[in-house]
Amino acid sequence: MINKRFIPVILLTFVNTIGFSILIPVLPFVTEKYGEGPLVYGALLSAYSLFQFLAAPLIGSLSDKFGRRPTLILSQAGTFLSWIIFGAAYFVPNIAIGPVALPIIVIMFSRIVDGITGGNVSVTNAYVADITAPSERTKYYGILGAALGFGFIFGPAIGGFTASFAIGYLGTTTRHRRFHRLVRHWLPRYNDCRRHHLLNYPCYHHYKLNRVLKTRRLITQSQN
């Protein structure tokens, strides 16, 4: 039985993976449309992963300071913004800025923003550690890995299907924004670790200790 508090983390991991994989079949046609080659396609595809790698430690530290849920909401808002920027590239005039078309520059900026906010993978991993017992963590981390795998399975299929319409890659943008609305609805509401640190114990151990202390207090009161 999966803990209900774990469902938002599964959705978040799935959507973050789709944010990368959904463009794998789309970007080749986008770069071809604006007269760019394989080098630009590779740069657009790798920008997300590069900036996710760079931003993950920073976003993880922010979650320790301000809490898991606020950080996840902020990162999802940033990802939502990146897809608005991506969709806006569809309406940008196709003029050259140096060797690259202006819409490609806008798309590159959107991929960078999405990669930075996609660094919340460190927050989701920390959240799993907060709400699970040590004996269950391998199980839930395995489920996260499965969600990541499903993202790579369904992402390219969704991207190819939505980009096949007359509006082109703009359809991919509208579909991905629906996923983000779903995740924001399910984001966890719980007391963050930062509010419950006790001698640097993780949340799980603090809740367990707090339960023991409460039980002892009730026993003492009943004896009096």
Number of domains in the chain: 2
As a whole number of angstroms, the distance between CA 119 and CA 72 comes to 10
CA-based nearest residue to 78, from 62, 100, 101, 64: 62
Query: DSSP of the chain, one letter per residue?
Result: ---GGGHHHHHHHHHHHHHHHTTTTTHHHHHHHTT--HHHHHHHHHHHHHHHHHHHHHHHHHHHHH-HHHHHHHHHHHHHHHHHHHHHGGGS---EETTEEHHHHHHHHHHHHHHHHGGGHHHHHHHHHHHS-GGGHHHHHHHHHHHHHHHHHHHHHHHHHHTTSTTTTHHHHHHHHHHHHHHHHH------GGGS-STT--HHHHHHHHHHHHHHHHHHHHH-
pLDDT of residue 47: 93
Query: DSSP of 73-133, one letter per residue?
Result: HHHHHHHHHHHHHHHHGGGS---EETTEEHHHHHHHHHHHHHHHHGGGHHHHHHHHHHHS-
Q: pLDDT band at residue 84, thresholds of 50, 70 and 90?
A: confident
List CB contacts of 73: < 8 A, sequence separation 6 or more. Answer: 184, 187
Residue 40 shares a structural domain with residue 148: yes
Residue 185 shares a structural domain with residue 196: no
Residue 103 shares a structural domain with residue 122: yes
Geometric angle at alpha carbon 91, from 89 and 95, rounded to 5°: 75
pLDDT of residue 125: 83
Residue 200 shares a structural domain with residue 106: no
Residue 67 shares a structural domain with residue 10: yes
Residue 102 shares a structural domain with residue 197: no
Q: pLDDT band at residue 107, thresholds of 50, 70 and 90?
A: very high
Q: pLDDT band at residue 102, thresholds of 50, 70 and 90?
A: very high
Residue where the block lists tokens 């003029």: 95
- The residue segments making up the domain with residue 203 are 192-224
Quick count: other Cβ atoms within 10 Å of Cβ 122? 20
Residue 116 shares a structural domain with residue 198: no
Residue 153 shares a structural domain with residue 211: no
Residue 141 shares a structural domain with residue 48: yes
Residue 94 shares a structural domain with residue 105: yes
| Model confidence pLDDT, tens digit, residues 131-172 | 788 888 888 899 999 999 998 998 888 888 877 665 555 555
Residue 184 shares a structural domain with residue 196: no
| Model confidence pLDDT, tens digit, residues 5-25 | 777 788 888 888 887 888 888
pLDDT of residue 62: 86
pLDDT of residue 211: 53
| The pairing of beta strand 100-101 with beta strand 96-97 | antiparallel
Residue 134 shares a structural domain with residue 154: yes
CATH code, domain with 136: 1.20.1250.20
